[in-house]
Amino acid sequence: MMSLEGKHQWKPLLLVAYVFLFVGAIICMNDILLPSLKNFFQLSYTQATRIQQSFYLVYLVFPIPIAYYISRYGYKIGLITALGICTIGCGIFIPAYFTSSYVLVLIALFVVSIGVTLINVAANPLATMLGTPEGAHARINFVQVFSRIGYSITPILGTHLIYGANNSITFYKPYMGLGIGTFLLAIFIFFSVMPAFKPAIAKGFSLISILKESKKYPQLFWGAVTMFFYVGAEACTAGFFINYLQDKSIAGFDADEAAKFLTYYYIAATIIGFVSIYFFRFFSAGKLLAFFGTGMVILLLLIALTNALWNPYYMIGLGVFISILFPTLFSLGIEGTGNFTEKGSALLNIAIVGGAFFPPLQGMIADANGIQISYLVPTLCFLVVVTYGLFCARRANGTYAINPTEKK
């Protein structure tokens, strides 16, 4: 077992981390697809946000069936299946390109998202189990650092593959590479040894029953609400990043230059995400969530309401403060849930559907009033994150019970 100072179960933990490397790259491709497909298919901002809708709507339907699947076959088979589904989804981009079909693109994203959802339902709780409970926040932040590495290397590489030397848009090429990578990783995990964790799912495992039972765990219930707003905010922040910097009234960057700044954004998130592992020794997860969320709100207000030379650098600064938010929010949500952990994980993953709702709202505002003012949408969402962080900080001080049967 592992603790913050003791030994770690490095082999299975690193396998989970490598899976998240590809998850980061796949999700980051959405941020590159939106501006490139907007040009390729001549779409409005609102139409282009169907990319996020196709990707995130999966989370409304599949987490519970996926949880059943994992309970029957275990985490290892779950990860292998997830990577196989991602491989199939990536392959669909090839006919989508050669038939110039936006519908096929959306289908491909939907299939890939099923694989990513399966990874999230399986790998996030698995990471928390690979050691002692007090090390759960650090472990999940560790594996999420690899996700940020995937994010970091994708913008420049993905943009180069999409636009190529003659500046034509070949959006299928990055997905060919991702498909090959996920296929090879699935084979590697198949022949690897992992702990035989296999969650037990109780009867009556439905969304309605989970929602009712989750009210016994306030930190989980409100964590799911916050996750809905957080993922919506993150999808908005990164999804419109390149378009924001390409706007002539703001920076007027070309695609390559904007992609570099998106890379810097993710590099900042990766570095701070790694360093933040040590923050949890000195500060509660709730306080850190509130602090980093406040940083996001301040920078987004500057991005939405000011027009200065510093705006592109404010965009990079967002990476600093967004770095720990998802893993910390997720681990706080399932903290102290005991036998309800697997259901809680499914509920938090269902809440990720927020990524399908807020980008279209931002897209409509961008079409009507400009892309800059549209960044008020994620600003308001991050205020919810700050509120939840303060709520959890009070729980850590003993104001609230950790679960229905035990108090601090």
Mean pLDDT for the stretch of residues 94-105? 96
Give the confidence band of 250 by pLDDT, cuts at 50, 70, 90. Answer: very high
Q: Does the structure show a pLDDT above 80 at 167?
A: no
C-alpha distances (whole Å) from 270 to each of 257, 310, 319 are: 20, 22, 8
The CATH number given to whatever domain includes residue 207 is 1.20.1250.20
Q: Which residue in this structure is represented by tokens 């009033």? A: 369
Q: Say how many domains are in the chain.
A: 1
Mean pLDDT for the stretch of residues 285-306? 97
Residue 404: inside a domain = no
Secondary structure of residue 406 in the 3-state scheme: strand
User: Percent of the chain having pLDDT more than 90?
Assistant: 60
The DSSP output letter for 269 is H
Q: What is the pLDDT of residues 28-46, one digit of tens each?
A: 999 999 999 998 999 999 9
Residue 3 has a pLDDT of 40
Residue 57: inside a domain = yes
**In this structure, what token pair is assigned to residue 359?**
């980008």
Q: Which domain holds residue 142?
A: 10-396
Residue 406: inside a domain = no
Residue 203 has a pLDDT of 58
**In this structure, what token pair is assigned to residue 382?**
């991050």
Residue 380: inside a domain = yes
Q: Does the structure show a pLDDT above 50 at 401?
A: no
Nearest to 121 by CA among 180, 61, 177, 179: 61
The residue count for the chain: 408
Residue 45: inside a domain = yes
Nearest to 343 by CA among 144, 196, 202, 134: 202
Residue 2: inside a domain = no
What is the average pLDDT score of the chain?
A: 88
Question: pTM for the whole thing?
Answer: 0.84
Which H or E run includes 41? none
Residue 3: inside a domain = no
* C-beta of residue 270 within 8 angstroms of C-beta of residue 149: yes
* C-beta of residue 322 within 8 angstroms of C-beta of residue 292: yes
- The per-residue DSSP string of 146-211 comes to HHHHHHHHHHHHHHHHHHTTTT---TTHHHHHHHHHHHHHHHHHHTS------PPPPSS-SHHHHH
Give the integer Cα–Cα distance in Å for 382 and 385.
5
Residue 272: inside a domain = yes
**In this structure, what token pair is assigned to residue 95?**
């006919």
* 3-10, long-range: CB < 8 A, 24+ apart: 3/131, 3/132, 3/134, 3/135, 4/134, 4/135, 4/138, 4/280, 4/281, 6/132, 8/130, 8/131, 8/139, 9/130, 9/131, 9/195
Residue 359 has a pLDDT of 96
Give the confidence band of 372 by pLDDT, cuts at 50, 70, 90. Answer: very high
Comparison of pLDDT for 288 and 133, the residue scoring more: 288
Q: Minimum mean pLDDT among 141-155, 237-251, 348-362: which range?
A: 141-155
